[in-house]
Amino acid sequence: MKIGVLALQGAVAEHLKSISSAGAEGIAIKHIEQLSEVAGLIIPGGESTTIGKLMRKYGFIEAIREFSEQGKPIFGTCAGLIVLAKDIEGSEEPHLGLMNISVSRNAFGRQRESFETDLDIKGIEQPVRAVFIRAPLISQVGEGVEVLSEYQDEIVTAREGHLLASSFHPELTDDYRLHQYFVDMVKQQSM
């Protein structure tokens, strides 16, 4: 099974490694035509405004919306969560506008306030190591969205059907279980 990682910005190599650890084949997606080769897609962290501009420049907005309409799973991490959201607080228009969530950018502070913690995530047995870097948070969830984890009473992981989002960077640790969760979502969708 092949899972793509949008390779416009962010920790692409680390996501590819985690996908491989979870037993799937990862592909760096640089052109919209490559989306037809994969059964799932990860939108990594980086800077959401920059990612949004690059997605528009290279035709990814409509291509990823069509990918989603086919029911193919998408996982947004950190800035990728912002890119998926229907509402970005106090900010620009949404990018993809696919997931029924509102997000608050840089909610956990600036770069120097970055931190690591262990999170309980629904559907994963033991706590998952999570790295927060200028992380957003999910300030509100709409109908159909399941909260999978919280940190200090703030939502940091959620799922809506075939869409998964985390405020943190699961790819920056050796713990690939959230990627495994996503790979399992893709397998179920592909059946």
Q: Which residues are catalytic?
A: 78, 169, 171
Sequential DSSP letters for the chain: -EEEEE-SSS-HHHHHHHHHHTTSEEEEE-SGGGGGG-SEEEE--S-HHHHHHHHHHTTHHHHHHHHHHTT--EEEETHHHHHHEEEETTSS--SS--EEEEEETTTT-SGGG-EEEEE--TT-SSPEEEEESS--EEEEE-TTPEEEEEETTEEEEEEETTEEEESS-GGGSS--HHHHHHHHHHHHHH-
> Distance between CA 130 and CA 191 in Å, rounded?
30
